[in-house]
Amino acid sequence: MSSREEAGKESVLQATRITLGLLARRIDQLSEQIREVDARLARLVECHAPQLLEVVGIGPDTAVALLITVGDNPERLDSEASFAALCGASPVERSSGRRQYRRLNRGGGRQANATLHRILFTRLRVDPRTQGYYERRIKEGNHGAKSSVASNAMRPGRSSTWSNSYS
């Protein structure tokens, strides 16, 4: 190997080290900024809607997503059904003839719908009773279990604070 090839390999190695060092510092800076923004959001949620943080499965970031969905006019949501429609989690009739079917609404806020599903799956992992129910329904081939567990989790009297939060 010539000295020129060795010098070339050494300069590539040095450039790689410098680049990785710069990337590591940038990752540290961005991680610190993320921690600061998360702390600010948590303080805002604790100030404006602390009851959301009491619900199992809702943290500051999911609470913020729900609050963004509700917007500046929470009075327009007079029931959990209207909130479910806003999130695209409400049943819609798709009946034809003698049989009556329902499917989940494909409209609504996709971000809010995804947030509701994250909350639901967190609740399933925490509560062994609902986890067994969900797994049994899936095993039986009933894939609508997700919507039924979600609707049960959001009913008044079942640790749902949504309707009490904005009344």
pLDDT digits (tens, 9 = 90+) for 128-151: 666 666 666 666 655 444 444 444
- Cα 110 to Cα 40, 87, 106, 117, 130: the distances in Å are 25, 7, 9, 11, 24
Q: Is residue 68 domain-shared with residue 37, that is, in the same domain?
A: no
Please write the tens of the pLDDT for every residue from 51-81: 888 887 788 888 888 888 888 777 777 887 7
The torsion angles phi and psi of 59, rounded to 5 degrees, stand at: -110, -175
Whether 72 and 153 share a structural domain: yes
Q: pTM of the full predicted structure?
A: 0.58
Q: Are residues 68 and 147 in the same domain?
A: yes
Domain with 11 in it: 1-48
Give the count of domains, the chain. Answer: 2
Cα–Cα distance, 81 to 147 (Å, whole number): 13
Which pair of structure tokens corresponds to residue 8?
């070339």
Fill in the amino acid letter for 141.
G
| CB contact burial 69-105 (16+ within 10 A = b; e otherwise) | bbeeeeeebeebeebbbbbbbbbeeeeeeeeeeeebb
Q: Domain check: are 91 and 38 in the same one? A: no
Statement to judge: residues 34 and 100 lie in one domain: no
Looking at residue 34, its amino acid is I
